[in-house]
Amino acid sequence: MSRTILVVLPLFIVWSEASVAQCDPSVVVAYYSQTGRTRAMARAVADGAAAGGTSVISLPVDSVTAEQLVAAQAIIVGSPVYNANVAPQVQEFMLRWPFAGGEMRDKLGAAFVSGGGISAGEETTQLAILRSMLIFGMIVVGGGEWQSAFGASAVTEEPPFLSGAGEVNEQFLAKARGLGIRVAQLARRMACP
């Protein structure tokens, strides 16, 4: 009987290590930033996703490939608020996503934005991104708290949140990190049952 245990145990250890090696979910953080503020949010989202246990690719929307999107378990899109909507560059990026064949179906999706003022269109911009993700059959994820139900957002040009060029108030960066962590944890749960 001890011979059977010796044979089974090494096989189990090899199987476990192989399973862990195959379980490496990835998150793509894609953003457009003209002033550097959405890029600052993207860095915080990516830091959170990395802390949540995933590999992360963080790139401007014009550098993300279809192959990277298809390979990822989660995609988090960031945009500045343009007239209560996404930046044209983000819209063009999402229009290039592979639609035929359902390659985006069942991937996690989330949104983050930066806007100039309170009630200047942050939520409508987040919802525009999330609506597009739903059309692709993605599973949308909000932030971890009720204050960030649609994702993470930042106000950058209205007191008391005024910030310099490329800077974002820490309370908004914390929400961005929280969004990244939540998406990463869910991606890990889905990829590594």
Q: Cβ distance 180 to 45 under 8 Å?
A: yes
Q: Cβ distance 72 to 39 under 8 Å?
A: no
Q: b vs e for 121-149, b when ≥16 Cβ sit within 10 Å of the residue's Cβ?
A: bbbbbbebbbebbeebebebbbbbeeebe
With 70 as the cut, is the pLDDT of residue 4 above it? no
Q: Cβ distance 138 to 110 under 8 Å?
A: no
Q: Cβ distance 74 to 187 under 8 Å?
A: yes
Per-residue model confidence as pLDDT tens digits over 90-128: 999 999 999 888 999 999 999 999 999 999 999 999 999
How high is the mean pLDDT of the chain?
A: 89
With 70 as the cut, is the pLDDT of residue 20 above it? no
Question: 116: buried, middle or exposed (CB in 10 Å: 19+, 13-18, 0-12)?
Answer: middle
Band the pLDDT of 22: cuts 50, 70, 90: low
User: pTM of the predicted model, to two decimals?
Assistant: 0.87
The percent of residues in the chain predicted with pLDDT above 90, rounded, is: 78
SS3 at position 60: strand
Residue 160 tokens, joined: 């008391």
Which CATH number is correct for 25-191, 2.70.98.60, 3.30.420.10, 3.40.50.360, 3.40.190.10?
3.40.50.360
Band the pLDDT of 53: cuts 50, 70, 90: confident
Per-residue model confidence as pLDDT tens digits over 127-185: 999 999 999 999 999 998 999 999 999 999 998 898 778 899 999 999 999 999 999 99
pLDDT at 163: 78
User: Which runs of consecutive H residues, i.e. helices, occur in 66-169?
Assistant: 66-71, 88-95, 122-135
Question: 89: buried, middle or exposed (CB in 10 Å: 19+, 13-18, 0-12)?
Answer: middle
Instruction: Reply yes or no: is the peptide bond before residue 80 cis, omega within 30 of 0.
Output: no
* Whole-number CA gyration radius for the chain: 19
**Closest alpha carbon to 153 in 187, 186, 184, 130:** 130
Q: Give the pLDDT mean for 64-86.
A: 97
Q: Where are the domains of the chain?
A: 25-191
Q: Cβ distance 120 to 154 under 8 Å?
A: no
Band the pLDDT of 52: cuts 50, 70, 90: confident
pLDDT at 169: 94
pLDDT at 166: 80
